[in-house]
Structure 1
């Protein structure tokens, strides 16, 4: 796993964690709130590893038996709460894996640690079940709730937890990491950094993705020419888009960044902040042709498309509505 020194960004959170450990003021419950790929699991694991480390320092030693167990996912006092249903953490999941288990004292360490990924998927009943434990936790218990949407948690839950918000990481730190640690060529590091929008996990994923370049090129071709496309041509583009169905959020994010570029150039006439630097002439042309209202409508439609796809609305229908909105307003 490494140590806190290996973490890029999040210095304020790391400092908070280490101060809490040094002062022996570790809370019973934390919420790590940040978008997918922002580093929630990594920070929670490092925090857990530090608490259980036999050296009892402010960072894991990575050498002791406990650190090796945590790193390999085999520490008996680190419990990752699982859920069988893809979009729901049920009350039974919380009761069986957390509430009923937490009464058993740690097997070998000073703490017993529970990590709940996608905590915002807990049903109201599951959250209420967890609340009972948060109100009177055992001395040795530490609970980490990892979430992209802390606002979906009940106020009674958030009020009993320490909130750690993961912020975006500076582009130059992401670019440096990609080039030095992953040995990504500079031109590719530039592109991945720009599209990651401050998210290290996403930057790494894009750098290692076989399809990112293809998706980007497909989106660029669509957006450059959609204004003059016939409906049949748009339908063909949507069929090609189905190839990337599993990566559709990346596809939609690339469209969003394109129109943010258009909006930015229209408002400032500054090309330096544009992500699509190799498409400046097309960005300028669209900025001239599109109205502010039209661009805003497209950006809103992209958010609606994401919500609909998350709700399993028909893929082709969602994409067709989106493309028609882009054609009419772009």
Structure 2
């Protein structure tokens, strides 16, 4: 588990936690709310490690016995709540691992910290059992709920916790992180950072995904050929899209990024603002052949395609309509 210094972004959340520690006003219950991959576990891990650090500095020292135990996930006073069923955390699991255990004082630290990943999966009964502990916690207890959707928690639970919302990390920070930790070239980091919407976990996944690279190649091929496609070409292209059916949201989003780049470059001629910096020549060629109205029709068509698939409209029909919209809008 790293300390705060190793976390990219999330300055407001970190400053709140640092201030709480400095003023000795650490809450007994926190909710860290953010989408998958946004860094909730990393922030909770760092906070727990700093709280338990024996040297009591602003950040964890990383060297004391407590820090070493925390980093190896072997700290007796940092408890990660586990659950067997993939879609729910039961009342029995909360009682056994938290409600009953919290009555036992810390073994070696000032705090006893419980981290509950996927807290949106807590059943109503589990939340009510947890509520009793949150309302009257032992002075040493700190409970951290990690959730992708805090609104699924009971209002009574929400009202008794400090909620920290994970905010998107800047594209610049994401790009730098990818280049340093995944060692990918800058043009690839540009795409992954733009596509991740400030989510480093998502960016890491994209940077190491072979499927994402296949989808990117398919998007570039469509962008290159769409204007000159005949009906038969469209039918063949749509059939090839079946391979991406499980990843179609990624295809739509990446296609939207491409045409946003074309629209942006048409308006500004600014290369630095592009996600597809390695495709400047093709983007430049398309801007000279595209109208603002046509590009806006394409972006609108991508959104409509998403809506159609969400409404269970036939996959091939949806893709044919989208490809025709792109072709006609570039004419």
Could you tell me the TM-score, scaled by structure 1's length?
Answer: 0.81
CA 1:235–1:100 in 2, change beyond 3 Å: closer, same or farther? farther
**Pairwise CA distance, 1:71:** 0.7
Q: Secondary structure at the match of 1:269?
A: helix
Is the 1:222–1:237 Cα contact (8 Å) retained in structure 2? no
- Which of 235, 238, 241 is the equivalent residue of 1:238? 241
**Pairwise CA distance, 1:75:** 1.2
Q: Secondary structure at the match of 1:146?
A: strand
**Pairwise CA distance, 1:238:** 3.4
Q: Aligned residue for 1:65?
A: 65
Q: Aligned residue for 1:225?
A: 226
**Pairwise CA distance, 1:276:** 3.9
Residue 298 (structure 1) aligned with residue 296 (structure 2) = no
Q: Secondary structure at the match of 2:113?
A: strand
- Select the structure of larger CA radius of gyration: 2
Is the 2:81–2:97 Cα contact (8 Å) retained in structure 1? yes
Let me know the Cα RMSD of the aligned residues.
3.1
**Pairwise CA distance, 1:213:** 1.7
Q: Deviations over 1:153-212 (max 9, x none)?
A: 222221111111111112222222333444332222222222222222222222233332
Q: Secondary structure at the match of 1:198?
A: coil
Is the 2:226–2:323 Cα contact (8 Å) retained in structure 1? no
Q: Aligned residue for 2:329?
A: none
Residue 323 (structure 1) aligned with residue 323 (structure 2) = no
CA 1:95–1:320 in 2, change beyond 3 Å: closer, same or farther? farther
State the alpha-carbon separation in 1 of the partners of residues 252 and 88 from structure 2. Answer: 25
State the alpha-carbon separation in 2 of the partners of residues 318 and 75 from structure 1. Answer: 52
Structure 1 stretches lacking a partner, 5+ long? none
CA 1:235–1:144 in 2, change beyond 3 Å: closer, same or farther? same
CA 1:136–1:321 in 2, change beyond 3 Å: closer, same or farther? farther
**Pairwise CA distance, 1:31:** 1.1
Q: Secondary structure at the match of 1:164?
A: strand
Alignment of 1:88-237 (within 5 A): 88-222=88-222, 225=226, 229=231, 232-233=235-236, 236-237=239-240
**Pairwise CA distance, 1:121:** 2.1
Is the 2:131–2:156 Cα contact (8 Å) retained in structure 1? yes
State the alpha-carbon separation in 2 of the partners of residues 11 and 282 from structure 1. Answer: 40
**Pairwise CA distance, 1:30:** 0.9
State the alpha-carbon separation in 1 of the partners of residues 248 and 163 from structure 2. Answer: 30
Q: Secondary structure at the match of 1:236?
A: helix
Alignment of 1:258-273 (within 5 A): 258=258, 261=261, 265=264, 269-270=267-268, 272=270, 273=273
Q: Deviations over 1:276-301 (max 9, x none)?
A: 45252557748543665x74463265
Residue 9 (structure 1) aligned with residue 19 (structure 2) = no
Q: Deviations over 1:16-63 (max 9, x none)?
A: 211211221100111111222221111100100111111122211111
State the alpha-carbon separation in 2 of the partners of residues 254 and 291 from structure 1. Answer: 16
Q: Deviations over 1:125-176 (max 9, x none)?
A: 3322222221112211111111222222222221111111111112222222
Is the 1:32–1:164 Cα contact (8 Å) retained in structure 2? yes
State the alpha-carbon separation in 2 of the partners of residues 287 and 162 from structure 1. Answer: 46
Q: Aligned residue for 1:27?
A: 27
Is the 1:53–1:67 Cα contact (8 Å) retained in structure 2? yes
Is the 2:249–2:306 Cα contact (8 Å) retained in structure 1? no
State the alpha-carbon separation in 1 of the partners of residues 164 and 150 from structure 2. Answer: 10
Is the 1:238–1:319 Cα contact (8 Å) retained in structure 2? no
CA 1:134–1:322 in 2, change beyond 3 Å: closer, same or farther? farther
| Count, aligned residues | 316
